[in-house]
A and B are shown apart, each in its own frame.
Chain A
């Protein structure tokens, strides 16, 4: 491969000296008033060569002879001009509200949206800029139809779940493939804990020009064996010829939790607890003839206060600690500064940016700092040769927290009884709480994850003939991560350390790739042919070392060089490679009939030796009916109408690099080295195969003031990668196989409307998607995850399977469950949990999702707000058995549960009688399952652009002040914290819709100023 890279560089130099193109220049004006239009995009059709008009509307571009130039500008009709032999091409653009003419980035090329036969959702960079979230994927939420984005909780830098048209995999990834400026980037979770982190957080959202999400097979199949979950193509900003434009942005935000549940305070807790104790005592006396003390400890005569002292340790009758609020920090918020400069001349354009952001999460110690820089440079060496560089470097420092299931995570503080003070009278932290006092962790430990990342690529493009061009790209994604944890001796009981200790892990990933492809674009009369063919190679090299050590001299010594005992140290390495060949042909006849075929041959080291290469073809067709003569009459109303359909095959490669091999791994006994078998083999292991069909209608009404898309799709996945259960007596638990079938089908609806145009303008954008997921066949396997989630035939992935709660017996306060005997179906109930059978009780997958965005502007004022909604999904509170357990243990309880609990015969309630240490309704059941539908005011921003009269006086190009709010309002019936939740330590393909001391989402109100000069 090294030879390959060398040759690439040599080749570029070589090509540079041979090529020739001619220069075309001109001026773009508006047809309405003849004014110059700066910022118009000009693209040499069929290539990626493009430029932008300068402030005077002038442009210069290198193009081959007979090239067709495509002029596009927001708010104007785009136009294609055949240049012939002209060297000056002046163009007048017609004002238009049409949105169908935008240029869309597709795999290995671009296309005009109008000509698309596949389904691609676009999110512009403008929509996601300056949002107070660490990663752009979070900012996409609610903006693209059929793209489900979920943050598991309000911790910063965590993994984000993205599902494009549902989940099709049980044991491989369901996340889309991410491509930045043509290069497949590293998105693996590199966290050493069970809570995933998000490598995408290192990409500066404000550098993004556009995001395209390839959803159907005809759009995605060119990415082959990794495209089944959709492909997200990120294009970063590029320079525009003209005067250098500087932009400075500063933003300061203030954050708080979106929603907080209410817990018992000190006096309430004491009373509630006493009530639970008395209830138990009465039951024991009645049923067993013994009191509480003899039942629990074999010692009769325990008073209530003695029980508290014996079990709780340091407590205080008068204490009234608000433990839940101790989880939050007061100075949560964000500071962000952006500085960018872009410009250039007709030969060379550049875009450079620098961003510094410092976000403090709502939870104590949660923080994400990022410094990132970018330089994108494009240069035309001649008419025929151009090359450029995209360079980005970023460094992030994330102060992380413990996983949701650890006592040391701030949210678990709420479990502690309010009668135990957080601090003793001398001001020191209470070390004798019933569960570990997580504030000890907050004050005596650090967990920093530093990521240094360089995502860069160089390219060279050669216009070999006017119709034929060749492009070569070489990219590298270097990622170095250091996770550094220190725990003081105060945390020993949680870490198992003796006198403090720590952990340090270095991970280094080199992910390099190259794309080399030819593009041919030719118009023969009414025939328009666009061909692409090439190859791609990617190699991913991972290595990591880590060390765990303990016993430090004092809390002043925090690096492991000071630790006296190394308890674990290791290094590991793994690689994978993909070698691919791809091609695509687009054919357009008479601007009405569109046909496209594409294919990719993918080979990978991840596949079993019998299945090294897979082929992924796709075909699609479109018919622009509105171009037909018979539509002329209604064109004033129905200005655009296109039917399109596609079918294609995409794949999903295993996440593991060596899932196909039978392996032995090393282990240790005492200090002797041992080995043991670690994995069963499967030489036939291969990718999952998804066949997707899509039918769509694109339409435009009233001269395209209203545009829309309607899509219906069926995604059928076979050869599902399954880490299937094997008989445990084999000495193994699972084996990777390809088996079964999963279906996702649904429809998507997008509507964009310019409601009012003119000085006061109002535009709306609405998207709605419904996806139905169903596992058709898993060969009888049942794969479990989360608390109650499972993948099972006949059901959507991750359904909740458990005991169905039937409320409370009004006579005695016992929790009741439906027996649900599968042999003997009835609605009979029982108070014996073990006598009830499990059944399907809920579904974590939403029925539908969507968003509604509105933008209003008047003179310099601009108001925009996005409502985002998720409907029909259930969330199971795994902590219900502790926090809604009616004092099965000491955990603090929800106020509403105590108020509503059963007290005397005849009480009609859903909350069973509280019984200290006895089990009454605390076991996992549908009692803790809730509908978690919500609608959220996701973003609200209001800005004012000062008029030029003022900015000129200030020597500025532009000045904008704005206030923005994130997650300002959430409407939901979910009664714990925030309904958008999935506890980090269980999150996965099957572990969905679980709450377990998960932090609520973050509400942020920020103020900013943006200055152009």
Chain B
């Protein structure tokens, strides 16, 4: 009997030992492993959507690419009056290497880049040739666009010294293996010229691969428009004007009737060549967060200064319909009122301005309009006084300020035309403090960046 008792206990224990060991193999339910994630054409398409999602992040094209440019480049245009100290430091040009905003923009941007790299390395999973071309084109559009923004913010301007010697940003073009290899991710900064070469290569390839229609996703027009910007920033006006003219004359896009209709829209307008989609289900319109009045659920941290306001004619709808005052009389931009509105990245209006600027500087005329006529198109639409028939470059820059204000162009216009800033101190166009620092976390985590911090930043 006693032996039998022992046996029961032993059998009982053994049962638990055997019965439970398989219980240790548990798979996650809310996410999946890499093998499962990348096994089909559908999953590559999903990755592409994922890449757009990351590009649309508030720290990237959901707002901070643009706001960083405008806070750095404000020249009597805006005042940062919010409590967040990271944007305030950008505005004051007192950025430190630990600025959390410039760090997030960097890391989030590379997150999107990594997804495009995964897509481009797994294109052979896509069997349908048309789909493959489109997916490749979109991935390259995203990658090229993001590298263009990074090199504009974290490196010296194209024309500030020698772009083949100045440091740009690290070019990561291969997907990151999930079983992390530090050596693969220790990449030093490429030169500004190399980054631009990569950007042009990606965007040119996208221009070829993409079709004319693709819903709200990138099209050949999106790639062309981004190329126009890239060439413009390189002072390669001859190429910029061709791209801008192609789009304007394609007839695919049209300015909306009233300038206010170009903003706060849930869907892309007829003048949106590329826009970030925001819905009440997804997406983040960080511009709205920081520009809009409290009554629109914004933080109204960025206020328009009197000098900017004074640039407009009284009749100009860009003032009467796009500048407003909140309950405490703060002067705010009306471009970002609706928190679920899309964010225009490139509008047709900008291409008129690129064409005008390029034609004026090259003293040629590509397209049917003179620079004065191109300006007039925008001023007519805005119900503003007539443009000069023979505009100067200053007239064009002023029109860019009026038309494209708070859309992320201030610092780039200042650099391209070597304008001095006299707000929150005095700065030459190529002042070291107008270039963002490489985030300290990157300096620490990527040994290849040793000694590659931007001038003007210590710690």
Contact = CB atoms under 8 A, between A and B. Distances in A.
Interface of A: 1, 3-4, 7, 11, 14-15, 18, 296-299, 309-313, 432, 436, 462, 464-465, 470, 472, 492-493, 495-498, 514, 516, 518, 534-535, 537, 539, 550, 565, 567-568, 572-577, 579, 581, 603-605, 612, 657-658, 661-683, 725-733, 735, 782, 833-834, 837-838, 881-882, 889, 923
5 contacts: A4-B20, A665-B31, A675-B43, A676-B111, A782-B444
Interface string B79-106: 1010101000000001010000000001
B52 A669 contact: yes
Given A3-B19, A432-B328, A726-B185, A296 B439 contact: no
A605 B184 CA distance: 30
Contact of A493 (B47, B51, B184, B294): B294
Contact of B306 (A298, A495, A663, A668): A298
A576 B31 contact: no
B444 A674 contact: no
Contacts of A837: 458-459
Interface of B: 2, 5-6, 8-9, 12-13, 15-17, 19-21, 23-26, 28-34, 36-38, 43, 46-54, 56, 76, 79, 81, 83, 85, 94, 96, 106-107, 110-115, 117-118, 170, 172, 176, 178-180, 182, 184-187, 216, 277, 279-283, 294-295, 297-298, 303, 305-308, 327-330, 339, 439, 441-442, 444-446, 458-459
A783 B283 CA distance: 29
A676 B47 contact: yes
B12 A834 contact: no
Contacts of B297: 492-493, 495-498
B102 to A, nearest CB: 12
A146 B201 CA distance: 63
B281 A727 contact: no
Given A516-B16, A667-B54, 11 more contacts: A297-B305, A298-B308, A537-B23, A565-B280, A658-B31, A661-B33, A663-B178, A668-B49, A675-B46, A676-B111, A677-B176
A436 B34 CA distance: 45
A727 B186 contact: yes
Contacts of B459: 837-838
Given A464-B9, A730-B180, A670 B20 contact: no
B216 to A, nearest CB: 7
B24 A677 contact: no
Contacts of A574: 28-30
Contacts of A681: 34, 178-180
Given A676-B47, A838-B459, A663 B17 contact: no
A882 B83 contact: yes
Given A663-B31, A670-B283, A729 B187 contact: yes
A817 to B, nearest CB: 13
A965 to B, nearest CB: 39
A63 to B, nearest CB: 17
Contact of A535 (B16, B24, B107): B16
Contacts of B279: 670-671
Nearest to A543: B29
A669 B16 contact: no
A163 B30 CA distance: 32
B294 A573 contact: no
Contact of B19 (A1, A299, A658): A1
Contacts of A889: 83
Contacts, number: 262
B79 to A, nearest CB: 6
B25 A605 contact: yes
A679 B31 contact: yes
Across chains A and B, which 3 residue pairs bring their CB atoms closest together, nearest first? A731-B114, A662-B178, A674-B49
A297 B79 contact: yes
A350 B178 CA distance: 56
A188 to B, nearest CB: 16
Main secondary structure of the interface of A (DSSP, over half): mixed
Contacts of B113: 729, 731
A675 B19 contact: no
Contacts of A514: 16
Contacts of A674: 46-53
Contacts of B17: 535, 581
Given A4-B15, A664-B37, A518 B23 contact: no
Nearest to A782: B444
Contacts of A658: 28, 31
B165 to A, nearest CB: 21
A313 B329 CA distance: 8
From B50, B297, B305, B327, residue with most partner A Cβ within 10 Å: B50
A677 B2 CA distance: 59
B20 A1 contact: yes
From A18, A436, A579, residue with most partner B Cβ within 10 Å: A579
B34 A664 contact: yes
Given A1-B23, A4-B15, A534-B13, A672 B49 contact: yes
Contacts of B26: 575-577, 605, 657
Contacts of B56: 669
A728 B19 contact: no
A729 B306 contact: no
B29 A572 contact: yes
A728 B445 contact: yes
B138 to A, nearest CB: 12
Contacts of B107: 728, 733
